[in-house]
Amino acid sequence: MKLANNRYHPPGRYPEGWYLVEIARNLPNGGLVEKQWMGQQVVAWRDSAGEVCVSEAYCPHLGSHLGPKAGGCVRNGRLVCPFHGFEYDVTGQCVATPNAPPPKTARLNVYEARELNGLIFAWWSSVGRDPQWELPQWPDEGWKRLEYAALRFPGHPQETAENSVDISHLQYVHGYASVKQLGEVYVAGAYLRNDFQFRRKINLAGVTVRTDVTAKTHVWGLGYSFVEIHERVSGLFLRQWIMSTTVDETENELVIALQAKGREPGQKWLATLLLNGLPPGWLTRFFISRVKHDVRQDISIWANKRYQPLPILSRSDGEIMTYRKYCEQFYPVSEVVGEPLRRVVSNRIRPVKRA
Ligand code: FES
Ligand SMILES: [Fe+2]
Protein backbone atom coordinates (compact mmCIF):
# COMPACT_ATOMS: atom_id res chain seq x y z
CA MET A 1 0.00 0.00 0.00
CA LYS A 2 1.33 3.43 -0.91
CA LEU A 3 1.96 6.07 1.72
CA ALA A 4 0.28 9.43 1.49
CA ASN A 5 2.44 12.46 0.86
CA ASN A 6 3.05 14.91 3.70
CA ARG A 7 2.82 12.17 6.25
CA TYR A 8 3.66 13.19 9.83
CA HIS A 9 4.46 10.68 12.55
CA PRO A 10 3.76 10.85 16.26
CA PRO A 11 6.81 12.06 18.24
CA GLY A 12 8.99 8.99 17.59
CA ARG A 13 8.93 5.98 15.36
CA TYR A 14 10.05 3.54 18.11
CA PRO A 15 8.17 4.36 21.33
CA GLU A 16 9.33 2.66 24.52
CA GLY A 17 7.41 -0.38 25.73
CA TRP A 18 6.75 -4.10 25.55
CA TYR A 19 6.24 -5.39 22.05
CA LEU A 20 5.24 -8.82 20.79
CA VAL A 21 8.07 -10.92 19.39
CA GLU A 22 6.40 -14.28 18.77
CA ILE A 23 3.44 -16.49 19.64
CA ALA A 24 4.93 -18.85 22.23
CA ARG A 25 3.78 -22.10 20.61
CA ASN A 26 5.67 -21.13 17.43
CA LEU A 27 8.89 -21.33 19.45
CA PRO A 28 9.24 -24.90 20.77
CA ASN A 29 12.29 -26.04 22.73
CA GLY A 30 15.25 -25.77 20.35
CA GLY A 31 13.30 -23.43 18.05
CA LEU A 32 14.75 -20.30 16.44
CA VAL A 33 13.00 -17.45 14.64
CA GLU A 34 14.23 -14.20 13.16
CA LYS A 35 12.37 -11.00 12.47
CA GLN A 36 12.53 -7.29 11.89
CA TRP A 37 11.30 -5.77 15.17
CA MET A 38 11.39 -2.12 16.29
CA GLY A 39 13.72 -1.32 13.40
CA GLN A 40 16.17 -4.06 14.42
CA GLN A 41 16.99 -7.52 13.14
CA VAL A 42 16.40 -9.81 16.12
CA VAL A 43 16.37 -13.54 16.82
CA ALA A 44 14.30 -15.39 19.42
CA TRP A 45 15.12 -18.92 20.47
CA ARG A 46 14.36 -21.41 23.21
CA ASP A 47 16.82 -23.73 24.90
CA SER A 48 16.11 -27.31 25.93
CA ALA A 49 14.86 -26.21 29.38
CA GLY A 50 12.24 -23.95 27.76
CA GLU A 51 13.99 -20.63 28.48
CA VAL A 52 13.55 -17.93 25.86
CA CYS A 53 16.20 -15.52 24.66
CA VAL A 54 15.51 -12.51 22.43
CA SER A 55 18.66 -10.85 21.15
CA GLU A 56 20.18 -8.85 18.35
CA ALA A 57 20.57 -10.97 15.22
CA TYR A 58 24.23 -10.28 14.42
CA CYS A 59 27.17 -12.24 15.78
CA PRO A 60 29.73 -10.07 17.61
CA HIS A 61 32.54 -12.14 16.06
CA LEU A 62 32.46 -11.22 12.38
CA GLY A 63 28.88 -10.14 12.02
CA SER A 64 27.04 -13.13 10.60
CA HIS A 65 23.27 -13.12 10.85
CA LEU A 66 22.26 -15.74 13.42
CA GLY A 67 18.77 -16.46 12.07
CA PRO A 68 17.68 -19.69 10.39
CA LYS A 69 17.74 -18.19 6.87
CA ALA A 70 21.51 -17.65 7.17
CA GLY A 71 22.01 -21.12 8.69
CA GLY A 72 21.89 -20.25 12.41
CA CYS A 73 20.51 -23.02 14.60
CA VAL A 74 19.98 -24.12 18.19
CA ARG A 75 22.13 -27.13 19.10
CA ASN A 76 22.39 -28.70 22.55
CA GLY A 77 20.54 -25.74 24.05
CA ARG A 78 22.83 -23.10 22.50
CA LEU A 79 22.47 -20.69 19.63
CA VAL A 80 25.14 -21.56 17.07
CA CYS A 81 26.45 -19.05 14.56
CA PRO A 82 26.60 -20.41 10.99
CA PHE A 83 29.87 -18.62 10.11
CA HIS A 84 32.53 -19.95 12.53
CA GLY A 85 30.44 -21.90 15.03
CA PHE A 86 30.52 -19.61 18.08
CA GLU A 87 27.92 -20.84 20.58
CA TYR A 88 25.77 -18.59 22.80
CA ASP A 89 23.71 -19.43 25.87
CA VAL A 90 20.36 -17.84 26.78
CA THR A 91 22.10 -15.00 28.63
CA GLY A 92 23.73 -14.01 25.32
CA GLN A 93 27.20 -15.04 26.47
CA CYS A 94 29.48 -16.87 24.05
CA VAL A 95 30.30 -20.10 25.88
CA ALA A 96 32.16 -22.13 23.25
CA THR A 97 33.89 -21.93 19.88
CA PRO A 98 35.07 -24.88 17.74
CA ASN A 99 38.83 -24.25 18.02
CA ALA A 100 39.68 -21.87 20.87
CA PRO A 101 38.40 -20.70 24.25
CA PRO A 102 35.42 -18.36 23.86
CA PRO A 103 36.37 -14.65 24.04
CA LYS A 104 34.97 -13.29 27.33
CA THR A 105 33.66 -10.17 25.65
CA ALA A 106 31.77 -12.07 22.94
CA ARG A 107 28.25 -11.39 24.12
CA LEU A 108 24.98 -10.72 22.31
CA ASN A 109 22.87 -7.74 23.25
CA VAL A 110 19.85 -9.35 24.86
CA TYR A 111 16.42 -7.82 25.25
CA GLU A 112 14.42 -8.28 28.43
CA ALA A 113 11.68 -10.74 27.53
CA ARG A 114 8.49 -12.06 29.12
CA GLU A 115 6.31 -15.03 28.25
CA LEU A 116 2.70 -14.36 29.28
CA ASN A 117 -0.51 -16.12 28.26
CA GLY A 118 1.25 -17.88 25.38
CA LEU A 119 2.75 -14.66 24.02
CA ILE A 120 6.43 -13.62 24.02
CA PHE A 121 7.18 -9.94 24.48
CA ALA A 122 10.45 -8.03 24.67
CA TRP A 123 11.19 -4.62 26.10
CA TRP A 124 12.23 -1.87 23.73
CA SER A 125 13.78 1.41 24.81
CA SER A 126 15.41 3.75 22.33
CA VAL A 127 17.51 5.21 25.14
CA GLY A 128 18.48 1.95 26.83
CA ARG A 129 16.18 2.27 29.86
CA ASP A 130 15.24 -0.81 31.85
CA PRO A 131 11.59 -1.91 31.79
CA GLN A 132 9.46 0.82 33.30
CA TRP A 133 6.48 -1.45 34.02
CA GLU A 134 5.43 -5.09 33.81
CA LEU A 135 2.70 -6.70 31.72
CA PRO A 136 0.04 -8.81 33.45
CA GLN A 137 -0.40 -12.57 33.33
CA TRP A 138 -4.16 -13.21 33.02
CA PRO A 139 -5.62 -16.41 34.51
CA ASP A 140 -5.74 -19.07 31.77
CA GLU A 141 -8.12 -21.51 33.42
CA GLY A 142 -11.23 -22.20 31.38
CA TRP A 143 -10.05 -20.43 28.24
CA LYS A 144 -9.90 -22.30 24.96
CA ARG A 145 -7.00 -22.36 22.50
CA LEU A 146 -5.60 -18.99 21.50
CA GLU A 147 -6.02 -18.20 17.80
CA TYR A 148 -4.31 -15.30 16.09
CA ALA A 149 -3.83 -13.36 12.88
CA ALA A 150 -1.19 -10.85 11.78
CA LEU A 151 -1.54 -7.87 9.48
CA ARG A 152 1.21 -5.60 8.12
CA PHE A 153 0.67 -2.12 6.80
CA PRO A 154 2.19 1.37 6.83
CA GLY A 155 1.36 2.65 10.28
CA HIS A 156 2.43 3.44 13.82
CA PRO A 157 1.52 1.81 17.18
CA GLN A 158 0.34 5.10 18.67
CA GLU A 159 -2.16 5.47 15.85
CA THR A 160 -3.43 1.90 16.10
CA ALA A 161 -3.86 2.07 19.90
CA GLU A 162 -5.69 5.40 19.55
CA ASN A 163 -8.58 3.36 18.13
CA SER A 164 -9.48 2.21 21.62
CA VAL A 165 -10.43 5.72 22.71
CA ASP A 166 -11.65 7.00 19.33
CA ILE A 167 -15.28 6.17 20.03
CA SER A 168 -16.80 8.07 17.11
CA HIS A 169 -14.99 6.08 14.41
CA LEU A 170 -16.55 2.86 15.71
CA GLN A 171 -19.86 3.94 14.30
CA TYR A 172 -18.64 5.76 11.22
CA VAL A 173 -15.97 3.33 9.97
CA HIS A 174 -17.13 0.02 11.40
CA GLY A 175 -20.89 0.55 11.44
CA TYR A 176 -21.39 -0.20 15.14
CA ALA A 177 -24.65 1.10 16.63
CA SER A 178 -25.52 2.57 20.03
CA VAL A 179 -21.85 3.15 20.85
CA LYS A 180 -21.54 4.36 24.41
CA GLN A 181 -18.51 5.08 26.53
CA LEU A 182 -18.82 3.60 30.02
CA GLY A 183 -17.31 5.96 32.55
CA GLU A 184 -14.16 7.95 31.91
CA VAL A 185 -10.83 6.90 30.52
CA TYR A 186 -8.68 5.95 33.51
CA VAL A 187 -4.90 6.45 33.42
CA ALA A 188 -2.33 5.32 36.00
CA GLY A 189 1.25 5.47 34.76
CA ALA A 190 1.63 3.15 31.77
CA TYR A 191 -1.86 1.71 32.30
CA LEU A 192 -4.94 3.03 30.54
CA ARG A 193 -8.47 1.66 30.91
CA ASN A 194 -11.38 2.42 28.65
CA ASP A 195 -14.76 0.66 28.65
CA PHE A 196 -17.51 0.97 26.10
CA GLN A 197 -20.50 -0.88 24.69
CA PHE A 198 -22.05 -1.18 21.28
CA ARG A 199 -24.44 -3.23 19.16
CA ARG A 200 -23.80 -4.63 15.74
CA LYS A 201 -25.20 -7.13 13.28
CA ILE A 202 -22.97 -9.93 12.11
CA ASN A 203 -23.45 -12.62 9.53
CA LEU A 204 -22.91 -15.99 11.20
CA ALA A 205 -22.96 -18.82 8.64
CA GLY A 206 -25.57 -17.02 6.51
CA VAL A 207 -27.73 -15.93 9.44
CA THR A 208 -27.81 -12.28 10.50
CA VAL A 209 -27.28 -12.12 14.24
CA ARG A 210 -27.70 -9.06 16.46
CA THR A 211 -24.99 -8.68 19.07
CA ASP A 212 -24.77 -6.50 22.13
CA VAL A 213 -21.20 -6.11 23.31
CA THR A 214 -19.44 -4.72 26.37
CA ALA A 215 -15.70 -4.20 25.92
CA LYS A 216 -13.28 -3.43 28.73
CA THR A 217 -9.96 -2.32 27.29
CA HIS A 218 -6.74 -2.48 29.29
CA VAL A 219 -3.76 -0.82 27.65
CA TRP A 220 -0.16 -1.06 28.83
CA GLY A 221 1.84 1.06 26.44
CA LEU A 222 1.46 1.25 22.70
CA GLY A 223 2.25 -2.39 21.93
CA TYR A 224 -0.21 -4.12 24.24
CA SER A 225 -3.99 -3.84 24.50
CA PHE A 226 -6.13 -6.46 26.19
CA VAL A 227 -9.90 -6.43 25.73
CA GLU A 228 -12.40 -8.32 27.86
CA ILE A 229 -15.48 -8.87 25.71
CA HIS A 230 -18.92 -9.94 26.83
CA GLU A 231 -21.55 -10.53 24.16
CA ARG A 232 -24.80 -10.32 26.06
CA VAL A 233 -27.26 -11.88 23.57
CA SER A 234 -25.43 -15.19 23.39
CA GLY A 235 -23.70 -14.87 26.77
CA LEU A 236 -20.29 -15.42 25.17
CA PHE A 237 -17.12 -14.30 26.93
CA LEU A 238 -14.12 -13.59 24.74
CA ARG A 239 -10.77 -12.00 25.38
CA GLN A 240 -8.56 -10.40 22.84
CA TRP A 241 -5.03 -9.05 22.66
CA ILE A 242 -4.19 -6.39 20.12
CA MET A 243 -0.45 -6.09 19.76
CA SER A 244 1.05 -3.46 17.55
CA THR A 245 4.76 -3.41 16.74
CA THR A 246 6.84 -1.06 14.66
CA VAL A 247 8.66 -3.06 12.01
CA ASP A 248 10.79 -0.37 10.35
CA GLU A 249 10.58 3.24 9.21
CA THR A 250 7.29 2.60 7.42
CA GLU A 251 5.67 -0.69 8.33
CA ASN A 252 3.72 -1.74 11.38
CA GLU A 253 2.59 -5.22 12.34
CA LEU A 254 -0.66 -5.78 14.18
CA VAL A 255 -1.27 -9.19 15.73
CA ILE A 256 -4.75 -10.02 16.99
CA ALA A 257 -5.02 -12.95 19.38
CA LEU A 258 -8.35 -14.19 20.64
CA GLN A 259 -9.72 -16.77 23.05
CA ALA A 260 -13.23 -17.89 23.99
CA LYS A 261 -14.20 -19.00 27.45
CA GLY A 262 -15.48 -22.55 27.52
CA ARG A 263 -17.91 -22.24 30.38
CA GLU A 264 -19.02 -19.57 32.79
CA PRO A 265 -21.48 -19.78 35.72
CA GLY A 266 -24.88 -18.72 34.40
CA GLN A 267 -23.74 -19.01 30.78
CA LYS A 268 -26.67 -18.89 28.37
CA TRP A 269 -27.66 -21.97 26.35
CA LEU A 270 -26.81 -20.14 23.11
CA ALA A 271 -23.19 -19.64 24.18
CA THR A 272 -22.97 -23.31 25.21
CA LEU A 273 -24.37 -24.32 21.82
CA LEU A 274 -21.99 -22.07 19.91
CA LEU A 275 -18.97 -23.23 21.89
CA ASN A 276 -19.72 -26.94 21.88
CA GLY A 277 -21.81 -27.48 18.73
CA LEU A 278 -19.21 -26.15 16.30
CA PRO A 279 -15.83 -27.66 15.33
CA PRO A 280 -13.09 -26.75 17.86
CA GLY A 281 -11.69 -23.29 17.24
CA TRP A 282 -14.29 -22.44 14.59
CA LEU A 283 -15.93 -19.71 16.65
CA THR A 284 -12.65 -18.08 17.68
CA ARG A 285 -11.44 -18.07 14.08
CA PHE A 286 -14.77 -16.61 13.00
CA PHE A 287 -14.36 -13.72 15.45
CA ILE A 288 -10.76 -13.23 14.35
CA SER A 289 -11.99 -12.93 10.76
CA ARG A 290 -14.47 -10.26 11.93
CA VAL A 291 -11.73 -8.34 13.74
CA LYS A 292 -9.49 -8.61 10.65
CA HIS A 293 -12.32 -7.22 8.56
CA ASP A 294 -12.60 -4.25 10.95
CA VAL A 295 -8.83 -3.72 11.07
CA ARG A 296 -8.69 -3.68 7.26
CA GLN A 297 -11.23 -0.86 7.35
CA ASP A 298 -8.90 0.98 9.74
CA ILE A 299 -5.84 0.24 7.60
CA SER A 300 -7.22 2.19 4.65
CA ILE A 301 -7.30 5.19 6.99
CA TRP A 302 -4.04 4.56 8.89
CA ALA A 303 -1.95 3.92 5.79
CA ASN A 304 -2.93 7.21 4.23
CA LYS A 305 -3.51 9.59 7.11
CA ARG A 306 -1.11 12.08 8.59
CA TYR A 307 -0.61 12.62 12.28
CA GLN A 308 -2.37 15.71 13.62
CA PRO A 309 -0.47 16.81 16.74
CA LEU A 310 -3.21 19.31 17.62
CA PRO A 311 -6.44 17.81 16.31
CA ILE A 312 -9.58 19.91 16.15
CA LEU A 313 -12.04 17.75 18.04
CA SER A 314 -15.79 17.63 18.40
CA ARG A 315 -17.80 16.74 21.51
CA SER A 316 -18.42 13.19 20.26
CA ASP A 317 -14.74 12.32 19.96
CA GLY A 318 -14.18 10.69 23.33
CA GLU A 319 -11.00 11.30 25.24
CA ILE A 320 -8.43 11.50 22.49
CA MET A 321 -6.37 14.18 24.22
CA THR A 322 -6.30 12.16 27.47
CA TYR A 323 -4.80 9.39 25.37
CA ARG A 324 -2.31 11.71 23.66
CA LYS A 325 -1.12 12.97 27.04
CA TYR A 326 -0.78 9.37 28.24
CA CYS A 327 1.37 8.58 25.17
CA GLU A 328 4.01 11.21 25.97
CA GLN A 329 5.68 8.97 28.56
CA PHE A 330 6.64 6.49 25.83
CA TYR A 331 8.98 8.98 24.18
CA PRO A 332 11.67 9.55 26.82
CA VAL A 333 13.63 11.61 24.32
CA SER A 334 11.54 13.83 22.09
CA GLU A 335 12.27 13.34 18.46
CA VAL A 336 12.40 16.07 15.88
CA VAL A 337 10.02 14.93 13.19
CA GLY A 338 11.99 13.24 10.44
CA GLU A 339 15.08 12.45 12.54
CA PRO A 340 15.40 8.96 13.98
CA LEU A 341 15.95 8.49 17.68
CA ARG A 342 19.32 7.33 18.94
CA ARG A 343 18.89 3.59 19.26
CA VAL A 344 20.67 1.83 22.09
CA VAL A 345 19.91 -1.81 22.66
CA SER A 346 19.51 -2.79 26.29
CA ASN A 347 22.30 -5.11 27.35
CA ARG A 348 20.59 -6.44 30.44
CA ILE A 349 20.87 -10.16 30.73
CA ARG A 350 17.92 -12.05 32.03
CA PRO A 351 16.52 -15.10 30.24
CA VAL A 352 12.87 -15.91 30.81
CA LYS A 353 11.25 -19.11 31.86
CA ARG A 354 8.26 -20.57 30.10
CA ALA A 355 5.20 -19.23 31.90
S1 FES B 1 30.62 -14.46 12.67
FE2 FES B 1 29.67 -15.69 14.14
S3 FES B 1 31.18 -17.14 14.65
FE4 FES B 1 32.16 -15.84 13.25
FE1 LIG C 1 -11.10 0.81 14.29
The predicted-structure confidence for 33-69, as pLDDT tens digits, reads as follows: 999 999 999 999 999 999 999 999 999 999 999 999 9
> Are 161 and 263 in a shared domain?
yes
Q: What is the pLDDT of residues 314-323, one digit of tens each?
A: 888 878 999 9
Q: What is the pLDDT of residues 11-38, one digit of tens each?
A: 788 999 999 999 999 999 999 999 999 9
* pLDDT beyond 90 at 335: no
* pLDDT beyond 90 at 333: no
> Are 178 and 112 in a shared domain?
no
> Are 25 and 88 in a shared domain?
yes
The residue length of the chain stands at: 355
Which CATH number is 82's domain given? 2.102.10.10
Q: What is the pLDDT of residues 103-135, one digit of tens each?
A: 999 999 999 999 999 999 999 998 899 999 999
DSSP SS3 for 136: coil
Would 131 be classed as within a structural domain?
no
> Are 118 and 160 in a shared domain?
no
76 pLDDT tier (thresholds 50, 70, 90): very high
> Are 250 and 153 in a shared domain?
yes
Ligand 2 centroid from CA 165, angstroms: 10
Would 52 be classed as within a structural domain?
yes
> Are 98 and 219 in a shared domain?
no
Q: HSE of 90 in the Cβ direction (CA atoms, 13 Å)?
A: 22
- Which of 90, 124, 158 represents a domain boundary (last residue)? 124
Q: What is the pLDDT of residue 312?
A: 92
Q: What is the pLDDT of residue 234?
A: 84
Q: What is the pTM of this model?
A: 0.90
What is the residue with the minimal CA distance to atom 3 of ligand 1? 84
What is the residue with the minimal CA distance to atom 1 of ligand 1? 62
Instruction: From the CA of 64, give the closest atom in ligand 1.
Output: 1
Q: What is the pLDDT of residues 86-101, one digit of tens each?
A: 999 999 999 999 999 9
Counting residues of the chain whose pLDDT is more than 70, the rounded percentage is: 90
> Are 73 and 175 in a shared domain?
no
Average pLDDT for the chain: 88
Q: What is the pLDDT of residue 189?
A: 96
CB 256 within 8 A of CB 292: yes
63 contact partners, CB below 8 Å, separation of at least 6: none
Please report which ligand is nearest the Cα atom of 102: 1
287 close to ligand 1 (CB < 6 Angstrom): no
81 contact partners, CB below 8 Å, separation of at least 6: 59, 61, 64, 66, 72, 87, 88
Q: What is the pLDDT of residues 267-303, one digit of tens each?
A: 777 777 777 777 778 888 888 999 999 999 999 998 8
Long-range CB contacts for residues 205-210, cutoff 8 Å, separation at least 24: 209/233
Ligand 2 centroid from CA 164, angstroms: 8
| Mean pLDDT of the 172-197 span | 94
Would 43 be classed as within a structural domain?
yes
Ligand 1 centroid from CA 27, angstroms: 23
Number of domains, the chain: 2
Range of the domain at 264: 147-330
> Are 157 and 107 in a shared domain?
no
Instruction: From the CA of 62, give the closest atom in ligand 1.
Output: 1
> Are 235 and 159 in a shared domain?
yes
* pLDDT beyond 80 at 338: no
Would 167 be classed as within a structural domain?
yes
Instruction: From the CA of 97, give the closest atom in ligand 1.
Output: 3
Ligand 2 centroid from CA 99, angstroms: 56
| Mean pLDDT of the 205-226 span | 92
Q: Hey, which of 8-17, 70-79, 192-201 has the most confident mean pLDDT?
A: 70-79
Q: What is the pLDDT of residue 334?
A: 52
Q: How many CB atoms lie within 10 A of CB 64?
A: 18
Ligand 1 test: best mutation among 86, 94, 105, most atoms within 8 Å of CB?
A: 86
| Rounded Cα–Cα distance for residues 92 and 348 (Å) | 10
* pLDDT beyond 60 at 187: yes
Q: What is the pLDDT of residue 353?
A: 52
Would 134 be classed as within a structural domain?
no
Would 135 be classed as within a structural domain?
no
81 close to ligand 1 (CB < 6 Angstrom): yes
> Are 34 and 96 in a shared domain?
yes
Ligand 1 centroid from CA 28, angstroms: 25
* pLDDT beyond 50 at 345: no
8 pLDDT tier (thresholds 50, 70, 90): low
61 close to ligand 1 (CB < 6 Angstrom): yes
Which CATH number is 325's domain given? 3.90.380.10
Would 3 be classed as within a structural domain?
no
| Rounded Cα–Cα distance for residues 321 and 328 (Å) | 11
84 close to ligand 1 (CB < 6 Angstrom): yes
332 pLDDT tier (thresholds 50, 70, 90): confident
86 close to ligand 1 (CB < 6 Angstrom): yes
> Are 94 and 157 in a shared domain?
no
DSSP SS3 for 329: helix
119 contact partners, CB below 8 Å, separation of at least 6: 20, 23, 24, 241, 243, 257
DSSP SS3 for 101: coil
| Rounded Cα–Cα distance for residues 107 and 74 (Å) | 16
* pLDDT beyond 90 at 5: no
> Are 173 and 112 in a shared domain?
no
Ligand 1 test: best mutation among 55, 56, 58, 61, most atoms within 8 Å of CB?
A: 61
Would 335 be classed as within a structural domain?
no
